[in-house]
Chains A and B, each alone.
Chain A
Amino acid sequence: MKSNKNHSRRNFIIGGLAAGGSVVAGQALSAGDAAIIDKQPWSNELGDGVDVRPYGFPSKFVSNVKRRNVEWLTASTESSVNFTPIHELEGIITPNGLCFERHHAGIAEIDPTQYRFMINGLVEKELVFTLDDLKRFPRENKIYFLECAANGGMEWKGAQLNGCQFTHGMIHNVMYTGIPLKLILQEAGLKGNAKWILAEGADASAMTRSIPIEKVLQDCLVAFAMNGEALRPEQGYPVRLVVPGWEGNMWVKWLRRIEVGDQPWQHREETSKYTDLMQNGKARNFSWEMDAKSVITNPSPQAPLNHARGHTVISGIAWSGRGKVREVHVSLDGGKNWRKARIDGPSLDRSVHRFYYDFDWTGEELLIQSRAIDSIGYVQPTKDALRKVRGSNSIYHNNGIQTWHIRKNGEVENVEVS
């Protein structure tokens, strides 16, 4: 293990020297690298002082790391989605500014002094809270993934978008600080016939979803912070609902009201949308849990292999709405043979897991895939297996195995295999 590490470190240094990557490992340059020999301005001049960047941004050299949308998908950017650049990220946490956005009427910019949270319906006392009131409840910190049910929805009819940002980027993984919704409902006092809640947003679409009371009492959070700071406006500032493991649409942003009722409301987002149309013309509803899924983020079409044959790191993410990820397997030959990948970093319930597979690339073409198995033993299916039971019109819950085709020159393409 240790010699491996040294080996890759040496390659890294030489790779930097070589610029084109053609220098044989271990061999020195005759003259020396200008990046070392010449004096660089940053080693000579003073840089920006403190407070020039009171809220820090990433280096200007990584300005390509950003959310992107697919313009032809939607009619207007105010009711649209963009995608997390998962091919540019490491570890398991998504930085706040890179969490994908999905809005139905643009970003609501809510003045926190005018923010109110209401509980009404089948409760003993219908209550109103300010943001400060909410922050007086006991809090929890939890890391959860949020995945849009339509993540991968453009891929049902075949490989379409060339980049994991677009095929798998409707996901983010964040540490939330919030109040168990159960505590707030206890404060109001649930009536005996309380079976469902309706969560409602304060934006101009007044987004609503029905959620069964068992889930609400089990683990839903009313969150006001993400990754240590206030929620970003595009993620629901000042308050959003957290519904661990369940489809992202239910995590109502700009949350302003919870109504308690005895039956589901059957609103637009749980009838016309977020229902899965099957081959026989019938549609499955209330398919809330997100199935186990994984994807290799590097290499991938937007992040090709930039070196010749030799030691290579495959990196990717895996998650399950039903628990932890127990194992991830990687195939280099389109699913003929599989090897166990190494999961590194925290392995948490309903959180993104990071996996690696290190190998020596011979320089030949590869068909790389990953397959997740979660803690209840569910095995991520192939896309064909999914289509066999669902057809290709269900839009949502596409958790099929992704294949990337690596060419000899290191370029990567989104493909499907037999």
Chain B
Amino acid sequence: MLKCLNAIIISSGLFFAAWSDAASSEKFGLGRLATQQEIKAWNIDIRPDGSGLPKGSGSVVTGEEIYLEQCASCHGEFGEAVGRWPALSGGEDTLKDDDPVKTVGSYWPYLSTVWDYVNRAMPFGNAQSLSVNDVYAVTAYILNLNDLVDDDFVLSRSNFKDIAMPNKGGFYNDDRKDTEIWSAREVCMSDCKKHVEITARARVLDVTPEQEAKRSGREQPTNKSKAETSQEASLAGENVKLLLRGEKVFNKCKSCHALGESAKHKIGPHLNGIFGKAAGQQTGFKRYSKSILLAGENGLIWDNRNLTEFLISPKKKVRGTKMVFVGLKKPEDIEAVIYYIRSADKE
């Protein structure tokens, strides 16, 4: 009996030990050690002191080639920007103006920011696809567009810190607490001013998006993707698996091309009705390259074969196309995305 009691005490002691208050202890024993390979895969950030920069180099000349192929469709051939995409060059001495132009040359304080951002986030829709040397080259070309380096310049890890950015001294730390706004603590409650006049009206500008009539009773909001919706209606003869795959592949296209009911032209034309049409024929799209227009005039029809060849390598199929896309490697992806593009025409 006594032994038994002891056993209970001992076991309950163990029980309590396993219950020690975790919140008060420093460590929880969670997670595992990261491997050097894992850290290398994700730890790509660059700092102004150059730490994080990998070995490599790239010239203005190479950078121009890559830039024209992969960047110019949004940022403009000379970094001047297309539409509302960011300008990368120009804007010197405009920071005090009514309409300042903030570019790498006129505003960015550190070159490391350019290298880091091109490397981590560009090209838009195909991030982290450039090689180390390509990133050096594109960075060198952007410097060249801003007249900060000569045409024969080669950027590398060793000369990186020699580049002086024009607006490096243009920043200071948050000083809101030193302003009169911060210290204006008196609160007026009555007769605070004599006259009040309207000085500006939003309607004059008329830039507010239109709003549908209230309580229009439109259909239920839905989170379903197009493919999912079709999945339910698979009796319509849709190859749902192919459609789903195509929808996924189309994610690579959608930063430049829209598809479906409310599709509009973006950087590239919308793709509704493109299948079976001659190249360069989307109504209202004004930014076709000469090569695409010429190819259309010479009889290039976007049929299955031509689209497939174009999607394998756009620049091989139509030399001089502005379409910035390396191409699709897997035949299944190409089949799926063509099927997906065609599905928009069946609606």
Contact = CB atoms under 8 A, between A and B. Distances in A.
- Tell me if chain B binds chain A: yes
Q: State the 4 A-B residue pairs at the shortest beta-carbon distance, nearest first.
A: A334-B196, A281-B95, A414-B202, A158-B200
Contacts of B170: 281-283
A120 B189 contact: no
21 contacts: A63-B221, A64-B214, A75-B85, A78-B125, A120-B43, A137-B30, A159-B201, A159-B202, A161-B202, A204-B121, A206-B128, A259-B45, A271-B110, A271-B171, A281-B96, A281-B170, A284-B171, A367-B198, A381-B184, A415-B202, A417-B198
Nearest to B109: A271
A159 B107 contact: no
Contacts of A79: 124
Interface string B143-158: 0000000000000000
A265 B45 contact: yes
Contact of A127 (B33, B48, B112, B125): B33
B169 to A, nearest CB: 9
A60 B39 contact: no
Contact of B200 (A127, A188, A291, A416): A416
A381 B125 CA distance: 41
Contact of A57 (B199, B216, B221): B221
A119 B113 CA distance: 22
Nearest to B52: A265
A8 interface: no
B217 A166 contact: no
**A interface bracket (residues with beta carbon within 8 Å of B):** 35 or more
Interface of B: 22-23, 26-28, 30-34, 38-39, 42-49, 74, 82-85, 95-96, 98, 100, 102, 104, 107-110, 112-113, 116-117, 120-121, 124-125, 127-128, 170-176, 179-182, 184-203, 205, 207-209, 211-212, 214-221, 251, 254-255, 266-267
B30 A208 contact: no
Given A120-B34, A268-B117, A415-B202, 16 more contacts: A64-B211, A68-B211, A70-B208, A137-B30, A161-B202, A188-B31, A204-B125, A206-B128, A268-B113, A268-B121, A284-B174, A289-B174, A377-B185, A378-B185, A405-B201, A413-B202
A335 B45 contact: no
Interface string A58-85: 1011111010111111111011000000
B220 A133 contact: no
The CB with the most chain B CB atoms within 10 A, among A66, A200, A205, A281, is that of A281
Nearest to A55: B223
B208 A166 contact: yes
Contact of B193 (A268, A284, A336): A336
A125 B33 CA distance: 7
Contact of B113 (A104, A134, A266, A389): A266
Contacts, number: 279
Given A105-B121, A285-B173, A61 B45 contact: no
A265 B42 contact: no
A339 B182 CA distance: 22
Interface string A164-202: 001000000000000000010011100000000010100
Contacts of B191: 336-337
A416 B199 contact: yes
A313 interface: no
B207 A413 contact: no
Nearest to A104: B121
B84 A127 contact: no
A416 B100 CA distance: 24
A118 B41 CA distance: 11
A75 B83 contact: yes
A133 B28 CA distance: 10
B34 A160 contact: no
Contacts of A40: none
B165 to A, nearest CB: 10
A129 B30 contact: yes
Contacts of A166: 208-209
Given A60-B219, A335-B193, A259 B22 contact: no
A275 interface: yes
Interface string A404-418: 010000000111111
Contacts of A257: 42-43
A76 B27 CA distance: 45
Contact of B192 (A76, A126, A286, A335): A335
A64 B266 CA distance: 26
A61 B197 CA distance: 39
A282 B214 CA distance: 45
Contacts of B127: 105, 204-206
A138 B21 CA distance: 11
Nearest to A338: B189
Nearest to A377: B185
Question: Chain A CB within 10 Å — which of B190, B197, B209 has the most?
Answer: B209
Contacts of B200: 158-159, 415-416
Interface string A370-411: 000100011101000110010001000100000001000000
Contacts of B23: 138
A279 interface: yes
Given A137-B28, A281-B170, A417-B197, A378 B182 contact: yes
